[in-house]
Structure 1
Amino acid sequence: MRPAPWLIAGLLLPIVVMAQPARAPKAPAQDPFSELFDTACMQHIGAPARLQSLMDANGLTPLQPAEAATLLQGQPGMAWMVPLASGRYAVSWADDGTCTVYAEKADPAVVQKGFARLMQAAPKPLQIRSLPSRGPLSGDQVAIQYGWATPGESKLRVRFRLVTRQAAEAGVQAMASATPGEAMREQAAPPASAPAR
């Protein structure tokens, strides 16, 4: 997880309260980072237009491509600054369907607990799977990965990842992402057309 200079020099916008769409009974109150991840990413998996509408409804405009490039890690997509009373956050949506939330400052233990609570709230019939972390990490980073899958299916519907850092000067202390899994991508793919006769 690279430091994001845009967080340190971030834009100061009015406090934003994110609206929650109607859904199953809500989990207990969460930390602001987990709440934003739930609202922005978990409730909009596979629905970029709905996420764009949520951001528009809260008066957030997308960052310019040069500012968004760090968040999107070279992929095409969109990103927004989301300043809340608790601190500065950012949300990105890459064209591959990955939605990510970043926090400039976060308590790793609190964020990890909130993330685990969100993972346990998998909608039925999906089941949670703990996954091995991927990629090299620096000394103070902790990565946690989960997936949601239909019982009896080996392919994941959604893959979730959380990376936290203890160092206050890290630039980004928490990053959580939701990425459509193989099963969701296959379901969304257009059916192959029949060969012409």
Structure 2
Amino acid sequence: MSKSPSVSSRIPPALPFGTQVAFFSRLRDSNPAPVTELNYVNPYTLVVAVALSAQATDVGVNKATKALFEVVRTPQAMLDLGLEGLTEHIKTIGLFRQKAKNVIAMSKILVEDYGGEVPSSRAALMTLPGVGRKTANVVLNTAFRMPAQAVDTHIFRVGNRTRIAPGRDVDDVERAIEDNIPAEFQQDAHHWLILHGRYICQARRPRCAVCVVSDLCPYEEKTL
């Protein structure tokens, strides 16, 4: 598991409530219905896709799962495919051998302990091989429409750079989102933030000139 990013121990306060409302209102106006960029067909295939996406791109995972999800849509179907069959499908993804073992082990647990269904509990999800807190939160948010916040490197960067949700590590940022972002935006907050970080507020050279919230952002090194 990769080490969580971190920032200085001195964390500035989050943006005030009114600025938070304006910030997310603009993101909502520009993308009213944000969704994950991972392809999936049901909660089970979502768990698999997110587990495979660790240290890999969504584009790469989607290419690998396109054919896989045509033949596998349930844990039992994955067990029927077997480890070798799954490995052949996902061999273009980083760490594919370990990920294949995790997916097979996860599928076995889902069949034996959960009747082939994906549980809607974070604690239960996190007992599955290859499923950490971030993966569990993605599944809770996307499959079960719970306002869970899956913080990745993009959200960590945007949260601290804009002071929407500042924190020393991903757990701090997750709590900051829950504590500071207005309730009406909680459900889609992590989608807006990850897409903003992926395409606009990029790590090396943020695209501030086309950012819809640039004037609300206190980041000093804007690229205007």
TM-score, normalisation: structure 2: 0.26
Indicate the structure (1 or 2) with the bigger Cα radius of gyration. 2
TM-score, normalisation: structure 1: 0.28
Question: 1 or 2, which has the higher helix percentage?
Answer: 2
Question: 1 or 2, which has the higher strand percentage?
Answer: 1
The one of the two structures with greater contact order (alpha-carbon pairs below 8 A, sep at least 6) is 2
